């Protein structure tokens, strides 16, 4: 069974631009979560989608948004990029997410660099 | 709010040494607790988890016991190998949630020398 895939793996953008990252969950998984990883702040939860609906949200500004499609694939968008948005963005999927017996599987991440 | 505190790294050990990485948490109710591992250039992998007090999670020789009285979930391994070199993250999922909204510690970089 294929794992969680994220595209692209690397991105370089300039301040003020916007970017879209993509995540394909493991087949059959309906919950997709996004995390930002930076050296200063560590791993921080962005949001989680289930059945095309945002179910949970972290403490990030409105410039960070996402969506989920009917096939459970998810995209994350960051508008008006700032230097501080440079990070590794990780996507994770699980069957339903809300069960303590569920397991979350992470993708390799997209490394975003903002110049 | 919820938080996870891990021992500061980096940690360097010789092969076959005993490993302990401390993790304590702050949360209301009964969170689920996790250890994730990140190898160079890769995403996170679930190493083990525990969903209720006194549960012991174990995998690949690693163990951690959910101690509610001390709000701790320390990671241990009796004999480490070079292949265990990685960054280890302790995490919690709030009470009432599954694992879709994790709060992570800052990570502990472990290096094992032959």
pLDDT above 90: percentage of residues in chain B: 75
What would you report as the CA-atom Rg of chain B, rounded to the nearest whole angstrom?
Answer: 13
For residue range A19-70, list pLDDT tens digits in order. 999 999 999 999 999 999 998 888 999 999 999 999 889 999 999 999 999 9
- SS3 for A30-92 is CEEEEEEEECCCEEEEEEEEECCEEEEECCCCCCEEEEECCCCCEEEEECCCCHHHCEEEEEE
In 10 A of CB B16, how many CB atoms?
Answer: 11
A113 in Cβ contact with A21 (< 8 Å): no
A5 touching B (Cβ < 8 Å)? no
CA distance linking residue A71 with residue B89, whole number of Å:
30
Residue of higher predicted confidence among B110 and B29: B110
Q: Which residues in chain A touch residue B103, judged by CB atoms under 8 angstroms apart?
A: 45
Is the separation of the CB atoms in B63 and B18 below 8 Å?
Answer: no
Give the distance from residue B104's alpha carbon to the nearest chain A alpha carbon, in angstroms.
6
Task: Please judge whether A100 and B105 are an interchain contact, meaning their C-beta atoms are less than 8 angstroms apart.
Answer: no
Nearest Cα of chain A lies from the Cα of B39 at a distance, in angstroms, of 10
Eight-state DSSP code of residue B67: B
Question: pLDDT by residue (tens digit) across A20-33?
Answer: 999 999 999 999 99
Nearest to B43 among A55, A90, A100 (CB): A90
Smallest Cα–Cα separation from B102: which of B86, B91, B89, B114? B91
Q: Is residue A100's pLDDT more than 70?
A: no
Residue of A nearest to B43 (CA): A108
Query: Taken in order B57, B61, B62, B68, is the CA torsion positive or negative?
Result: positive
Tens of pLDDT, residues B7-45: 888 999 999 999 999 999 999 888 889 999 999 878 899
pLDDT tens-digit series, residues B78-87: 999 999 999 9
Q: Which pLDDT belongs to residue B99? A: 60
Closest CA to A13 of A60, A108, A90, A79: A79
Could you give the 3-state DSSP secondary structure of residue B58?
A: strand
pLDDT above 70 as % of chain B:
95
**Chain B contact present for A106, CB below 8 A:** yes
């Amino acid at each position: 069974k294929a794992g969680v895939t994220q595209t692209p793996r690397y991105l370089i953008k300039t301040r003020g631009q916007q970017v879209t990252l993509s995540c394909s969950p493991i087949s059959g998984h309906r919950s997709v979560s996004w995390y930002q990883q930076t050296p200063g702040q560590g791993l921080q939860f962005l949001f989680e989608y289930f059945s095309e609906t945002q179910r949970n949200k972290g403490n990030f500004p409105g410039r960070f948004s996402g969506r989920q499609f009917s096939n459970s694939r998810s995209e994350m968008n960051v508008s008006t990029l700032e230097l501080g948005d440079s990070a590794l963005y990780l996507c994770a999927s699980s069957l339903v997410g809300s069960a303590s017996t569920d397991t979350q599987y992470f993708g390799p991440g997209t490394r975003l660099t903002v110049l | 709010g919820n938080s996870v505190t891990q021992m500061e790294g980096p940690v360097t050990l010789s092969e076959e040494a005993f490993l302990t990485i401390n993790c304590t948490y702050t949360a209301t109710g009964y969170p689920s607790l996790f250890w994730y591992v990140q190898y160079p250039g890769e995403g996170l992998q679930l190493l083990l988890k525990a969903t209720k007090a006194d549960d012991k999670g174990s995998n690949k020789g690693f163990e951690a016991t959910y101690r509610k009285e001390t709000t701790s979930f320390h990671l241990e391994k009796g004999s480490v190998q070079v292949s265990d070199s990685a960054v280890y993250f302790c995490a919690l999922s709030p009470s009432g949630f599954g694992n879709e909204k994790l709060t992570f510690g800052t990570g502990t970089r472990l290096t094992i020398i032959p």
